[in-house]
Amino acid sequence: MMLELKMPALSPTMEEGTLAKWLVKEGDTVRAGDVLAEIETDKATMEFETVDDGVVKSILIAAGTEGVKVGTPIALIEIEGEAAAPVATVAAPVPIKVEAAPVVAAPAPAPAPVVAKVAAKAEGDRIKASPLARRLAAAKGVNLATLTGSGPNGRIVKADILGAPKAVAAPAPAVVVTDGTTPHEVVKLSGMRKTIARRLTESKQQVPHIYLTVDIRLDALLKLRGELNEALTPRGVKLSVNDLLIKALAVALARVPACNVSFNGDSMLQYHRSDISVAVSIPNGLITPILTGADTKSVADLSTEMAALATRAKEGKLQPHEYQGGTASLSNMGMMGIKQFEAVINPPQGMIMAIGAGEQRPYVIDGALGIATVMSATGSFDHRAIDGADGAQLMKVFKELIEQPLGLLV
């Protein structure tokens, strides 16, 4: 029996991928569970396993081939002792290396786009549209996520596509011109780096950013952290400053819900939970594991969960649901000595908080000049969804929670 292995869909939104490497060759005998190949998408590199014993009869797609469409046959395996008509099978992918678009200089792994109308979505994140509508949308350059379906149960149909405005194509990337005399090498972009470039450009071109900065005194927070860590020592928990900042942002979003939103075409999504995406550095980039419901969890639980997520991120073991989504982001570059920066929003989220280094500065305390530990925090807000006054209110609440940190414990 000949099994036809096809390019799998490794996520609900995947349409194509790169067949990065074959780990077998034609004629090799394989057993169920053996890894056949590595497949790279814009979010991750996945191992492709066989689910049957057999012999690799033919490799149809060469290693390094980019843009292989989901469902394209990539190899043939002959099942031992069988002789029947060919059938198709898709091996279950196993994540081995997570690569997502970063939040700071490159907004990370790329969550599935928010759909303009909830009625246009089926279960999960798949947009309901007829096959003809999908073909017309691709031909016209129309993003289905921006449409409201007029068919049964919100299904997008031909009429919806014909009445939709054609998408404006992004300008071609600039080509670097060199005289060839400067020593250099050409480095091929990985799928992750291509995603970084695309999402950075889209975010800065399509999302009108507004930046608001506050200086925040950290002394009370640092004192509370020390006391909490002493109390938590028997539990093996050690809070970081970042853990407390995550909690502060989550609580601030709960208190200023006008900032816990996403722009959604002719509507907005108002979130009822603070899911905080946190930038974590991994080999070759950044990924943003998500702390769901961070506003309702204790700082000890947040610290434990964040440590586990960061460890799995660096080991390449995060599952897609652990880094896709989130209602807002936090990126802390203070540990690298960065005093202040303006982060790029990670669509479809409406804001991101950029944290600078805490440092001793001259500071007016009770009307007198003194020395305090101060950090600068800058919120980047999607001005389509969040007014400057609402953004300012969030920054005010965030500052108050850090300077009077007992509010984080209740």
pLDDT number for residue 263: 95
**CA gap 100, 111 in Å, rounded:** 9
Domain boundaries, the chain: 2-98, 192-408
Q: Which pTM does this prediction carry?
A: 0.65
CA distances from 244 to 145, 399, 407 (A): 36, 12, 11
pLDDT number for residue 379: 98
* Strand pairing class (280-282; 276-278): unpaired
**Under 8 Å between Cβ of 55 and 30:** yes
Residue 278: closest CA among 259, 253, 255, 250: 250
pLDDT in tens, 39-59: 887 666 677 888 778 899 999
pLDDT in tens, 338-364: 999 999 999 999 999 999 999 999 999
pLDDT number for residue 310: 93
pLDDT number for residue 168: 52
Identified catalytic residue from 209, 272, 321, 383 = 383
pLDDT number for residue 13: 65
**CA gap 222, 271 in Å, rounded:** 31
Where the chain has pLDDT below 70, the residues are 11-13, 42-45, 80-126, 131, 135, 138-141, 165-180, 192
**CA gap 322, 246 in Å, rounded:** 16
pLDDT number for residue 83: 47
Q: Which residue has the tokens 């990370």?
A: 108
CATH code for the domain defined by 2-98: 2.40.50.100
CATH architecture, domain defined by 192-408: 2-Layer Sandwich (3.30)
383 burial (CB, 10 Å; 0-12 / 13-18 / 19+) is middle
pLDDT, the chain, mean: 83
**Under 8 Å between Cβ of 137 and 165:** no
Q: Would residue 184 show up in a list of annotated catalytic residues for this protein?
A: no
